[in-house]
Amino acid sequence: MKEKSIVINYCNLLLGIILLFLILTNVELNSTIANFIFPLFVLLFGFLSYKKITTKQKGKLLFYLPSFIGVFGFYIVIILFFLINFFGSLFWINEEINKERIQRCYSPNKIEYCDAYHYPVGAYSGGSGRVRVFLVNKFFPIVRKEVFYKPKAHVWIEGKEDIPYEYFVWEDNDSIKIYKSNIVNVRGIIFYPVAMIKAVRSK
């Protein structure tokens, strides 16, 4: 029984670390729905196993701390966003529902591909919508990494509102060239807290 409790504790620790990694970096699950359900799964797994396990293992709570920090932090931010900017939240939901993949292109070595998504946010954005480009490894497609984001973008060919531009092309296996923009390196992971600190210091 003790060995089983230890395994469950380490499973909770691993789930918590994975959740924090997904929240704090530009890596996420390859589905918007999964990104909302996974924290709930971590919460339920942690709560049920914590209540069931009666072992007096030293430091037991530490195994559950990453899970609870990640879960409550994730949902508290969402709740605050809805409370502070309710109409903005509705716009965001509408964008997610109506988003459209406008391009998929494989890397030269055919191991990875990038997906470009268009989010039709309307005229208030100053463009036809937002664009996000994700990198996916075809051998591990359950996660994706955001490598490019543009809040105001025109993606449709002029006079042909249902046909998008070729928004990006691969320069090599490590970088893509964005339409009317710069070359983006798709390697590396962005840790948001560090990126925010650097942005503040650069001002």
pLDDT tens digits, 101-113: 989 999 999 999 9
How far is 149 from 81, CA to CA, in rounded Å? 20
How far is 76 from 74, CA to CA, in rounded Å? 6
pLDDT tens digits, 82-133: 898 888 788 888 888 888 898 999 999 999 999 999 888 754 444 568 899 9
How far is 124 from 37, CA to CA, in rounded Å? 31
pLDDT at 43 over 80: yes
Please enumerate in sequence order all residues whose Cβ is within 8 A of that of 125, keeping only pairs 6 or more positions apart, or say none: 151, 152
pTM for this entry? 0.85
Question: At 194, is the pLDDT very low, low, confident or very high (cuts 50, 70, 90)?
Answer: confident
Taking residues 24-49, report their average pLDDT: 92
Q: What pLDDT sits at residue 158?
A: 63
Q: Give yes or no for a contact between 121 and 109, defined as CB atoms under 8 angstroms apart.
A: no
Mean pLDDT of the chain: 84
Q: What pLDDT sits at residue 2?
A: 63
Q: Check residue 129 and give left, alpha or beta (phi > 0: left; psi -120 to 50: alpha).
A: left
